[in-house]
A and B are shown apart, each in its own frame.
Chain A
């Protein structure tokens, strides 16, 4: 197969849990050797999607294949080709880091010796060497996630599924995790990554698919998506007593849309980042408007959602519980 052929192909995937439709007809391709970021809020269907592709869950309809192997028909062969690391860090707390990796290696069919050697190698790569012989229950959250990811890599699978690999991690551990994932990608592994963070998809993914209510509502590179969201957002906090009308009139020529005013805050989309702040300050000062604070903000997941779906991401949080329960 050529490097351009898809590693993952999904057509019309459907899955319901009782009344909750977790997947409502997902179509998706992931090109070999690339990272696809599946971006969506809690309850959008991301975990269900990963569970179907890793053979943990059977879909109600549609087809999915990984490296040409069907998730139902060729499940046994498919499992040889994939690694899965999830948001729950599925490692045994009472085993040491090394024992966990050796166990997984042997369940991939390796001899004890080979599994031990491979485990040692991974612990070194993931900066867990010193903790290798300590029970996992003594590990920090970041260390557990790294071990979980290491477990997914024991058999050097060509396709990797990472289900929210950094959810719940502190910023420092998140950064360390990103570096590890970037390292993998440079070695040619195909990765399907789910995330709630645009920043994460932005940094790691070649292509981003936005999923909501079980369907892919937008797909493209991170730049393409941000263009649809409207690029940079300028936020101006006015001094008490300053005139909204004057501020809006002064800034309007720079705005892409109608500036919105709320409290003492004027918000608007702007065309470009470069020189925007200087120009805004000049215009406001010429108009005699007193400003307390002024900032440029990159689009967030909430912005993407608001733009693409017309509803905010948090509204969906309640549905996640239903999804979780049905999955558990």
Chain B
């Protein structure tokens, strides 16, 4: 068990030290979310009405949730690349803990996700966002975000293992998840959508998590959103972690 932990950390460290050396990945973490944030705040924001809340307050929790769900794309790309470049073979020929490759991957996502939460929060505060909550709730919100992001890392791990190339891993993940984040309460009030979309949006894990974040950070009515979001995160992990692990075993032939 200690071996699993130390091997996981070695793999996670490896993923993190190589990150700053792949500039295009780093841009995806920093510049891209800020660009989206500014676009929605200053281009679309004026045309979207959010009763009882300035759009910037409405937007920040939504865009952070969207962003964290995509944080795991590094896992999809990285695993796919490792498979094709033979690194997975090297790892598997070493006397290391078997699950450490996947565990290290998803764990390093938690670190990069934390970084992107900080970047988005700082930018958000600069353009007018303010918390309406105590420190405890702010931190609880961040933990919920990281948990939700971790669940999606396993989705991406699975995608990275089934895709034939890093590019296709990227586009599969994008096509599958991107629309989900928009048919939710992340960017517009659900009530403004046509009825069938509303029905979908209300059960969408993104809506539930975005609403949970708004309750934790802005003091909006909590309902069951926080528990609902935790349940979704656990559910997604419970489905995709075993899928990814079994695919990993199968793919590499043991």
Chain A contacts to B: CB under 8 angstroms: 51, 54-58, 76, 79-80, 82-84, 86, 88-95, 99, 103-104, 106-109, 135, 151, 327-328
Which chain B residues lie closer than 8 Å to A82 at the CB level?
93
A151, B93: Cα distance in complex, Å: 11
Q: Are B94 and A55 in contact (CB under 8 A)?
A: no
What are some 9 contacts across the A-B interface (CB < 8 A)?
A55-B92, A56-B89, A57-B254, A79-B93, A90-B85, A92-B14, A94-B21, A103-B13, A107-B94
Which chain B residue has the least Cβ–Cβ distance from A327? B253
Q: Are B90 and A104 in contact (CB under 8 A)?
A: yes
Which chain A residues lie closer than 8 Å to B3 at the CB level?
109
B87 within 8 A of A: yes
Return the contact of A76 from the options B21, B87, B91, B95 (Cβ within 8 A): B95
B43 within 8 A of A: no
Counted as pairs of residues, one from A and one from B, with CB atoms less than 8 Å apart, the total is 75
B96 within 8 A of A: yes
A115, B29: Cα distance in complex, Å: 32
Which chain B residues lie closer than 8 Å to A83 at the CB level?
93
A86, B87: Cα distance in complex, Å: 10
Q: Are A56 and B96 in contact (CB under 8 A)?
A: no
List CB contacts (< 8 Å) of B90-136 with chain A: 90-96
A94 to chain B minimum Cβ distance, whole angstroms, is: 4
Return the contact of B10 from the options A54, A76, A106 (Cβ within 8 A): A106
Q: Are B18 and A104 in contact (CB under 8 A)?
A: no
B35 to chain A minimum Cβ distance, whole angstroms, is: 25
A241, B66: Cα distance in complex, Å: 82
A109, B5: Cα distance in complex, Å: 12
Q: Are A80 and B14 in contact (CB under 8 A)?
A: no
Q: Are A328 and B84 in contact (CB under 8 A)?
A: yes
Chain B contacts to A: CB under 8 angstroms: 3, 6-7, 10, 13-14, 17-18, 21-22, 83-87, 89-96, 252-254
Q: Are B86 and A89 in contact (CB under 8 A)?
A: yes
A51, B93: Cα distance in complex, Å: 9
A14, B237: Cα distance in complex, Å: 38
A55, B92: Cα distance in complex, Å: 8
Given contacts A58-B254, A80-B95, A328-B84, contact A90 B89 (CB under 8 A): yes
Which chain B residues lie closer than 8 Å to A108 at the CB level?
94-96
B168 to chain A minimum Cβ distance, whole angstroms, is: 14
A160 to chain B minimum Cβ distance, whole angstroms, is: 11
Which chain B residues lie closer than 8 Å to A86 at the CB level?
86, 89-90
A122 to chain B minimum Cβ distance, whole angstroms, is: 15
Given contacts A88-B85, A106-B10, contact A79 B95 (CB under 8 A): yes
Given contacts A57-B254, A79-B93, A79-B95, contact A94 B22 (CB under 8 A): yes
B201 to chain A minimum Cβ distance, whole angstroms, is: 40
Given contacts A57-B253, A95-B17, A135-B21, contact A104 B94 (CB under 8 A): yes
Which chain A residue has the least Cβ–Cβ distance from B97? A107
Return the contact of B92 from the options A56, A91, A103 (Cβ within 8 A): A56
Interface core residue of A91, A95, A103, A327 (most chain B CB under 10 Å)? A103
Which chain B residue has the least Cβ–Cβ distance from A17? B253
B121 to chain A minimum Cβ distance, whole angstroms, is: 28
Please name the 5 residue pairs, one residue from A and one from B, whose CB atoms are nearest each other, closest first. Answer: A90-B86, A94-B18, A88-B86, A79-B95, A90-B90
A142, B216: Cα distance in complex, Å: 56
Which chain A residue has the least Cβ–Cβ distance from B83? A328
Q: Are A56 and B86 in contact (CB under 8 A)?
A: no
A58, B254: Cα distance in complex, Å: 6
Which chain B residue has the least Cβ–Cβ distance from A112? B10
Return the contact of B252 from the options A56, A88, A99, A151 (Cβ within 8 A): A56
Which chain A residues lie closer than 8 Å to B21 at the CB level?
94, 135
Which chain B residues lie closer than 8 Å to A106 at the CB level?
6, 10
B83 to chain A minimum Cβ distance, whole angstroms, is: 8
A296 to chain B minimum Cβ distance, whole angstroms, is: 40
Given contacts A56-B252, A57-B254, A58-B253, contact A107 B18 (CB under 8 A): no
A109, B97: Cα distance in complex, Å: 10
Q: Are B93 and A84 in contact (CB under 8 A)?
A: yes
Given contacts A94-B18, A107-B10, contact A151 B90 (CB under 8 A): yes
Given contacts A58-B253, A76-B95, contact A95 B18 (CB under 8 A): yes
Which chain B residues lie closer than 8 Å to A57 at the CB level?
253-254
A117, B86: Cα distance in complex, Å: 25
